[in-house]
Amino acid sequence: DKKDRGTEVILHISEDSKEFLEESRIRELLTKYNKFMPVPIKFGTKEIPDPNHTPKTIKDKDGKETTEEQKMITVDNIINNPHPAWTKKPSELTDEDYLNFYRELYPMQFEEPLFHIHLNVDYPFHLTGILYFPKLTTNIDIQKDKIQLYQNQVFVTDNVEGIVPDFLQMLRGVIDSPDIPLNVSRSYLQSDGEVKKISSYITKKVADKLNSLFKNNREDFEKKWNDIKVIIEYGMLTDEKFFERAQKFALYPTVNDKYYTLEELKEKIKPAQTDKDGNLVILYASNKDEQHSFIVEAEAKGYEVLLLDSPIVPHLMQKLETENSELSDKKQPIKFARVDSDSIDKLIRKDEEQISKLSEEDQKKLKTIIEEVVPKEKYTVQLEALDSNSNPFIITQPEFIRRMKEMQQTGGGGMMGMGNFPEMYNLVVNTNSDLMQKILKAKGKRKEYINQALDLAKLSQNLLQGKDMTDFIKRSYELMKS
C-alpha cells in the first residue's frame, strides 16, 4: 500500500523505443505537448542562487577586498508554464505581457507582431486564446502552421484547417477549446455545427479588432496597411461576412501615399472619373516606377491613381466590380482599369471626342507604313486621335486579357489556358502627334523613326531588353548625329 498521496505511472519501454528514455527526447516531448499544462511538471533539478544569501565583501589573505561566492541551492526544475497569458483576463495583462508570451511561443521570431486579439467566450461554446498579426509580405504562399491548437492547455496540433478560416491561418498564436472534436476528418470538422460557430466567432473578433484599430488610430492603421493587407484582401475574397465587415476598414492607397476606404474613394473621384456611360472608372497602377509615364498622364487630367500591387488584387477587383455592377442595387457601377491598359482618353471616355489632324487617306497610309515595320505577331496597330502632347506611340494590354492572365497565374479564376497565352499588345498610334507628319513625309529614315518611337513605348512598359535594348541605344546615337 502507498503511504503517500498521488498516482504512479510506470511505463515499460520496448527495445525499439529506447530513445524515449533519453533525457533530451523526454524534454522535447514535454516541451511540445505540455509546455502550458495547468499543473507544474517537475523534470529533474537545477541550481539557482540562494535568495536568502547576499554575498558579502571580504578581505583575502593579502588584504584586498573581494566578494564571496554566491551560494547556490538545488530546486525542482519546472519546465512548463501552468498560467499562460491566454488563461488570464485581458485586464490582467499589459502590452509587455502579450509581447513576452509571443516570444515564449516563437523564440526564434525576432520581429515583433503588429497587434494582438484576445479571445474569450463561454457561451454557446468555450474558447480562449490569443492571436497575433505578424508582418507579412505580398507572398500568399505563407506558412500556415503558426496557430497552435490546445485542449485544456494540452497541445493538440498546429494544423487548424477546418477550425480557423483559411485566410486567418496566416496569423500566429494559440486557440484553446474543449469543444473542438479531435480525431475526426477535416470534412467532418467543416460540417460540425460547433466548429462553424467557433470559426464565425474568430472571424468576427478579428474584423471587430481591425475596425477598432481603424477608428481609434487611423494614422497608425494606414502605416501598418502594407503589412496586413494580404490577410484582409484574402479574407474579403473567401469569406462573404468578412467582406461585408471589411468595407468599413479596407484601404485603397494611391500612388501618392493617400489612403481611402472604397466609399471615400468613390466620393472623391466621382466628378472627374465618371465616364459618358455613367461608370465610375477607378484607375490603378501595380508598379509606380514601371508605369510612371502613364501615372503622370492620368494625374495631368486630374485623375486619382491607386497603387494596388498584391498578387490577389485582380481577383478582388473582379469581386468589387460584381458587387457594384448594374445588376446590383448599388447606385453607380464601378470599373477598375490599370493605368497602362489603354490610352487615358479611352480608359475614361468623355462626351468630347478629339478630332484627328490627319485625313482618312493619310491615316490609312500611316497605318500601312507602321504595320510594315512593327512585328504583327506581337502588336495590333490602332490609330487614335489623342491630345497632341500625348506620346506618339503607346503600348497597352487590354484590362480583361491581362487580368485573366494574372488571375490564372495566381491559382484560380480567370480563363483556362490564359496563363500560358502568348503576350499580345495594342500599339496605339497618336495621329495628332507631330511625329506622324514626319513619318508620312520622311522616306529614308521612316523605319528608324518608327522603331525609335516603338522602343520608347516599350521602354515605358519595361519591355525593352537584350538585343532590342542594344539596337535602341545604337539607333539613339545615330539619330543624334543626323
Q: Among 156, 136, 140, which residue's Cα sits nearest to residue 148?
A: 156
Confidence (pLDDT) at 181:
74
Q: Among 233, 230, 241, which residue's Cα sits nearest to residue 202?
A: 241
Residue 179: strand pairing partners: none
Please name the residue that has the C-alpha cell 457601377. Answer: 333
Q: What is the mean pLDDT of residues 36-50?
A: 89
The percentage of the chain sitting over the pLDDT mark of 90, rounded to a whole number, equals 44
Q: Write out the E strands in 217-363.
A: 252-253, 259-260, 280-285, 305-307, 334-338
pLDDT digits (tens, 9 = 90+) for 236-274: 999 999 999 999 999 999 999 999 999 999 999 999 999
Instruction: Examine the pLDDT at 134 and tell me if it is beyond 80.
Output: yes
Q: What is the mean pLDDT of residues 367-371?
A: 93
Instruction: Examine the pLDDT at 413 and tell me if it is beyond 70.
Output: no
Confidence (pLDDT) at 135:
84
Q: What is the mean pLDDT of residues 438-443?
A: 87
Structural domains of the chain, with CATH: 15-78 (no CATH), 85-216 (3.30.230.80), 252-347 (3.40.50.11260), 360-481 (1.20.120.790)
Q: Among 439, 431, 340, which residue's Cα sits nearest to residue 383?
A: 431
Instruction: Point out the least confidently predicted range of 127-131, 146-150, 171-175, 421-425.
Output: 421-425
Q: What is the mean pLDDT of residues 32-42?
A: 90
Confidence (pLDDT) at 346:
87
What is the grid cell recorded at 479?
539619330
Q: Among 265, 459, 275, which residue's Cα sits nearest to residue 350?
A: 275
What is the grid cell recorded at 152?
485544456
Please name the residue that has the C-alpha cell 495566381. Answer: 410
Q: Which of 53-57, 301-305, 416-420, 460-464 has the highest mean pLDDT?
A: 301-305
CB atoms within 10 A of CB 256: 11
Output the average pLDDT for the chain.
86
Helix (H, G, I), strand (E, B) or coil at 133: strand
Instruction: Examine the pLDDT at 286 and tell me if it is beyond 50.
Output: yes
To the question of pTM greater than 0.75 for the whole model, the response is yes
Confidence (pLDDT) at 89:
93
Confidence (pLDDT) at 159:
83
Task: Burial-class residue 341 by CB neighbours within 10 Å (0-12, 13-18, 19+).
Answer: buried
Instruction: Examine the pLDDT at 409 and tell me if it is beyond 70.
Output: no
Comparison of pLDDT for 188 and 176, the residue scoring more: 176
Confidence (pLDDT) at 274:
94
pLDDT digits (tens, 9 = 90+) for 333-354: 999 999 988 888 889 988 777 7
Task: Burial-class residue 357 by CB neighbours within 10 Å (0-12, 13-18, 19+).
Answer: middle
Instruction: Examine the pLDDT at 101 and tell me if it is beyond 90.
Output: yes
Start-to-end CA span in the chain (Å) = 111
Confidence (pLDDT) at 178:
87
Confidence (pLDDT) at 141:
47
